């Protein structure tokens, strides 16, 4: 296997929608507000979605996520957490396709790329972007590395909820429009909070499926994920809660995000979610869950599309 193919495999393409959708959700909020500004807020007609800033935000976010995945691949191998019992996709470090050092260097290269892509964002909004970016890059490594590896302490879901949900969505809104302390901006950031929670929970579903699949292996290597701590039955229940909760909170989305309603475009997301629920109940905790991971990524995309387009299609 050549180096490029190995790195592409280690980026874990099925998980990348988590970062892309979070940025897309932030852009969706700005777009909704610029096109449906309530009457009392007409003085803020200058709110406009900047597509170039949106592109650089996506690129920076995806590079950080890829770096996190690469560090995970390398560090799990260093810690002997990837064994012959592994049920997930092939790991390039543990399999010997690339050295641990080379994978770490690739991770650092993606962090450098994330920094470069963030330069236009810093130019647009200043030091708060640095305040968001530095912790994000540090946590890309600390997810499985450092003195307190989050994934090994059962805190992976909290990390994902924050960085692939709240911070990513609200941070994207900030990149686009900044912040002024008045009711209009408070309402927009309330929308970012609600949608950020929803995106974060659906991203947590991805990691929970991973952890359920790898639970038995992780339990023997000292990787105390939430699935290991809870046991398989409760972990499956938690995964279902991650899936259901965003739908249960849609009422709040209607309050804060303009022009959102139930329409036919929700049908595909609901059907996909229903299939995931059934498979979460019956799919054995082995490599057969890899297909479920891809389905959860698809559902995350469909959920954002439903929020974005649902009210425009009757």
Show the tokens assigned to 284.
């054995």
Q: Which residues, other chains included, contact 35 with Cβ-Cβ below 8 Å and sequence gap of 6+?
A: 258, 259
- Using H for helix, E for strand and C for coil, what is the string for 144-193? CCCCCCHHHHCCHHHHHHHHHHHHHHHHHHHHHHCCCCCHHHHHHHHHHH
**Helices 100-125 and 51-78, axial angle in degrees (round to 10):** 150
8 Å CB contact between 180 and 21:
no
pLDDT of residue 26: 96
Digit-by-digit pLDDT tens for the chain (314 residues) are 566 776 777 778 888 888 999 999 999 999 988 876 655 555 555 678 899 999 999 999 999 999 999 998 888 888 886 665 666 667 788 777 888 898 999 999 999 999 999 999 999 999 999 999 999 999 999 998 888 889 899 999 999 999 999 999 999 999 999 888 888 888 899 999 999 999 999 999 999 999 999 898 888 888 899 999 999 999 999 999 999 999 999 989 988 988 887 767 789 999 999 999 999 998 888 888 888 988 999 999 999 999 987 544 33
In the numeric block, which tokens belong to residue 58?
Answer: 């996506």
On whether the CB atoms of residues 80 and 221 are closer than 8 A, the answer is yes
pLDDT of 314 reads: 35
Which tokens in the block code for residue 199? 């995106």
Placement of tokens 């991203």 in the chain: 203
Please state the separation of Cα 54 from the chain's center in Å: 16
pLDDT of amino acid 285: 84
Q: Which residues neighbour 154 within 8 Å (Cβ) at sequence distance 6 or greater?
A: 224, 225, 226, 228, 229
Tell me, what's the pLDDT at 81? 67
Between CA 274 and CA 280 the distance in angstroms is 10
């Amino acid at each position: 296997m050549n180096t490029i193919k190995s790195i592409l495999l280690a980026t874990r393409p099925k998980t990348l929608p988590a970062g892309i959708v979070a940025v897309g959700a932030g852009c969706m909020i700005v777009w909704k507000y610029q096109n449906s500004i309530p009457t009392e807020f007409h003085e803020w007609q200058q709110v406009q979605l900047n597509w170039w800033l949106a592109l650089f935000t996506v690129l920076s976010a995806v590079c950080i996520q890829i770096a996190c995945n690469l560090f995970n691949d390398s560090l799990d191998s260093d810690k002997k957490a990837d064994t012959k019992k592994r049920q997930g996709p092939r790991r390039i470090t543990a399999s010997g396709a690339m050295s641990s050092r080379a994978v770490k260097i690739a991770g650092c290269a993606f962090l450098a790329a994330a920094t470069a892509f963030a330069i236009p964002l810093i130019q647009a909004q200043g030091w708060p972007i640095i305040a968001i970016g530095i912790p994000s890059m540090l946590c890309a490594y600390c997810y499985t590395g450092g003195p307190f590896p989050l994934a090994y302490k059962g805190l992976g879901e909290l990390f994902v909820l924050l960085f692939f949900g709240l911070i990513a969505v609200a941070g994207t809104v900030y990149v686009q429009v900044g912040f002024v302390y008045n009711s209009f901006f408070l309402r927009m950031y309330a929308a970012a909070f609600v949608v950020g929670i929803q995106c974060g929970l659906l991203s947590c579903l991805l990691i929970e499926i991973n952890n359920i699949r790898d639970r038995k292996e992780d339990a023997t290597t000292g990787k105390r994920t939430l699935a290991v701590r809870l046991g398989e039955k409760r972990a499956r229940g938690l995964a279902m809660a991650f899936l259901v909760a965003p739908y249960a909170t849609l009422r709040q989305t209607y309050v804060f995000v303009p022009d959102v309603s139930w329409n036919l475009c929700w049908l595909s997301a609901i059907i996909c979610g229903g299939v995931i629920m059934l498979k979460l109940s019956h799919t054995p905790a082995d490599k057969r869950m890899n297909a479920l991971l891809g389905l959860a990524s698809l559902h995350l995309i469909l959920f954002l599309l439903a929020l974005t387009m649902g009210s425009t299609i009757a």
